[in-house]
């Protein structure tokens, strides 16, 4: 198999490689511990028992606020929503041609996408097990379509890997699996696993490795039908006198490991990213718009910047400013309050709650993230490279390229040209939008040379510069959860918090919805108990 150095591999190396083959599960376990991934426990809740009594102020019209407005209004409460933006949905947001967006620092962008093109700067995919979100989509008639997360014909790319040439994911996956399978077969054949498995199990293991890794009858990973039916061919099968396929040559395990491209292979096996994933037809904001159709139009007051939240034994008072009339202060009152304002913003607003809750609100930093949408005059990734949806992973600052999962075969398209987190997100956030777009095109050209001549225009959203959120999502740690999570979720007098930050699924719309259902249940129980006292 052309594997230089395999003979010197230790038992620890072997176990490590087998672990890498199942790396997605290990990564998922780690992410679950930090609260970044978990199965949704949603079961469709029964209607709130009893007739809603009194009034409720809801701060924020993101998905958590919209769920609260819908469910509490349906239960009979008098509901009013105060929303900072001039639109509902929060991070459930889609940019289309003609939209305008101004970030902190005064940088203003006007979207120039063609009609029918769009870009989701916030959430962009829905796992099949996010049952609450899918249930609302079903009830409200939000049409869904597949989101292609894994495309074996997309690329894995490293600047110093394989001479900087992008590699098809199917090739890297096949060569990694084949190399590991051949190595394990050799170890088993030499008796290296005799103290671990029975003779019968060893025989079945060898057969499994041959099928899993595409090995030949001698348990070798070499060019041939078994290998190339996985990694692809140098020339595909056709018809006529020269229709025979030409085998491509596999890359040895030593070179695959040295490329580090295998680091991206396990992601597709992570629970949150397993097929089937979905997206709303026409843009993620279809979900927020569906909620608005179910809520009375006069319920939401837009352009309302909350400046103070106070409460006493009789109710809640919220001061807010009309952002269309700077300095114009107003006040709203209600019996109860569901506050869905991101903690990054709420920590800067005086709020009359316990010291423990104030400490909890200030204890959760928000992760940075930057997304760049790029429109191209033609879908060269489809026409030239047969990439229909999916994601190309790269170690370039852009992080990844996601190809649209809709509109196959049409003329133009918008790519997610950059999705940065961690340090790269801070670097991109420090740039102005035009520079972010320029850098995304520059990096993308190293993977797709067509970028330079096909690019038309773009939009760039840096979430730490988003005035309504100052970050992408709540960055919990295990220590912070142990100390503060209960205080975030508990009802404090007449105020309860909700949002993705009040869940074990931060960054996901499912977390926002589940937290809202939990919060309004606590509020309703308190309201009913108080009325019956």
Nearest to 141 by CA among 299, 294, 277: 294
Question: Taking Cα atoms as reference points, which of 508, 501, 427, 493 lies closest to residue 460?
Answer: 427
204 within some domain: yes
Q: What is the pLDDT along the chain (533 residues), one digit of tens a residue?
A: 444 433 444 444 444 444 433 333 333 333 443 444 556 778 777 678 676 789 999 999 999 999 999 999 999 999 999 999 999 999 999 999 999 999 999 999 999 999 999 999 999 999 999 999 999 999 999 999 999 999 999 999 999 999 999 999 999 999 999 999 999 999 998 899 888 889 999 999 999 999 999 999 999 999 999 999 999 999 999 999 999 999 999 999 999 999 999 999 988 788 989 999 999 999 999 999 999 999 998 999 999 999 999 999 999 999 999 999 988 899 999 999 999 999 999 999 999 999 999 999 999 999 999 999 999 999 999 999 999 999 999 999 999 999 999 999 999 999 999 999 988 999 999 999 999 999 999 999 999 999 999 999 999 999 999 999 999 999 999 999 999 999 999 999 999 999 999 999 999 999 999 999 999 999 999 999 886 44
- Do 379 and 448 fall within a single domain? yes
Alpha-carbon span 80 to 64, nearest angstrom: 14
Whether residues 361 and 498 fall in one domain: yes
Check which CATH number belongs to the domain holding 431 and give it.
Answer: 3.90.660.10
Q: Which residues contact 250 (CB under 8 A, 6 or more apart)?
A: 1, 2, 174, 175, 178, 221, 222, 223, 227, 231
- Residue in 294, 326, 293 with CA at minimum distance from that of residue 307: 326
Residues 374 and 461 in one domain: yes
- Torsion over CA of 25, 255, 155 and 213, rounded to 10 degrees? -60
Angle CA(420)–CA(163)–CA(23) in degrees, nearest 5? 50
Between strands 369-376 and 144-147, the pairing is: unpaired
Q: What CATH number is associated with residue 213?
A: 1.20.1440.240
Residues in the chain: 533
Measure the CA–CA gap between 528 and 50, rounded to whole angstroms: 7
Give yes or no: residues 351 and 481 share one domain.
yes
Give 50's DSSP letter.
S
Tokens of 182: 């051949």
Global pTM reads: 0.90
Q: Are residues 113 and 188 in the same domain?
A: no
Tell me which residue range forms the domain holding 356. Answer: 55-84+286-366+475-532
């Amino acid at each position: 198999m052309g594997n230089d150095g395999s003979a010197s591999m230790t038992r620890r190396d072997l176990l490590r490689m087998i672990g890498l083959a199942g790396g997605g599960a290990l990564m998922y376990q780690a992410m679950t511990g930090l609260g970044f991934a978990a199965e949704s426990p949603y079961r469709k809740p029964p209607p709130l028992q009893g007739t809603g009594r009194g009034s409720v102020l809801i701060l924020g019209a993101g998905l958590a606020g919209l769920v609260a407005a819908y469910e509490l209004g349906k239960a009979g409460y008098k509901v009013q929503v105060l929303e900072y933006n001039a639109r509902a949905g929060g991070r459930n947001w889609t940019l289309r041609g003609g939209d305008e967006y101004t970030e902190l620092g005064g940088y203003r962008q006007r979207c120039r996408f063609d009609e029918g093109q769009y870009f989701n700067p916030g959430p962009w995919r829905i796992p099949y097990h996010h049952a609450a979100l899918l249930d609302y989509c079903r009830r409200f008639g939000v049409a869904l379509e597949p989101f292609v997360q894994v495309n074996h014909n997309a690329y894995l790319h490293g600047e110093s890997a394989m001479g900087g040439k992008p590699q098809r994911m199917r090739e890297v996956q096949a060569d990694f699996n084949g190399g590991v399978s051949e190595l394990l077969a050799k170890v088993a054949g030499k008796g290296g696993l005799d103290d671990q498995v029975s003779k019968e199990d060893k025989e079945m293991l060898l057969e499994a490795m041959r099928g899993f890794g595409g090995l030949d009858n001698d348990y070798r990973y070499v060019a041939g039908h078994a290998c190339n039916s996985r990694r692809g061919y140098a020339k595909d099968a056709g018809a006529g006198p020269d229709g025979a396929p030409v085998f491509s040559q596999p890359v040895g395990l030593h070179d695959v490991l040295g490329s580090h491209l295998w680091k991206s292979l396990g992601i597709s096996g992570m629970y949150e990213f397993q097929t089937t994933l979905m997206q709303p037809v026409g843009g993620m904001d279809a979900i927020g718009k569906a909620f608005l159709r179910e809520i009375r139009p006069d319920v939401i007051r837009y352009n309302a910047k909350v400046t103070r939240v106070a409460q006493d034994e009789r109710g809640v008072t919220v001061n807010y400013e009309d952002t269309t009339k700077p300095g114009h202060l107003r006040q709203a009152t209600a019996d109860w309050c569901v506050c869905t304002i991101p903690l990054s913003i709420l920590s800067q607003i005086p709020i009359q709650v316990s010291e423990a809750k104030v400490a909890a609100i200030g204890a959760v930093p928000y992760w940075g993230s930057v997304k760049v949408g790029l429109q191209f005059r033609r879908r060269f990734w489809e026409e030239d490279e047969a990439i229909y949806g999916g994601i190309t992973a790269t170690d370039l600052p852009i992080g990844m390229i996601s190809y649209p999962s809709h509109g196959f075969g049409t003329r133009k398209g918008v790519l997610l040209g950059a999705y940065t987190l961690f340090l790269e997100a801070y670097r991109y956030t420090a740039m102005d939008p035009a520079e972010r777009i320029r850098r995304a095109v520059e990096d993308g050209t190293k993977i797709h040379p067509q970028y330079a001549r096909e690019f038309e225009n773009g939009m760039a959203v840096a979430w730490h510069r988003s005035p309504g959120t100052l970050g992408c999502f709540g960055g919990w740690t295990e220590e912070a959860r142990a100390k503060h999570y209960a205080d975030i979720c508990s009802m404090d007098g007449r105020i309860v918090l909700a949002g993705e930050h009040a869940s074990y699924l931060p960054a996901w719309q499912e977390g926002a919805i589940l937290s809202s259902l939990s919060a309004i249940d606590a509020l309703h129980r308190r309201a009913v108990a108080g009325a019956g006292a």
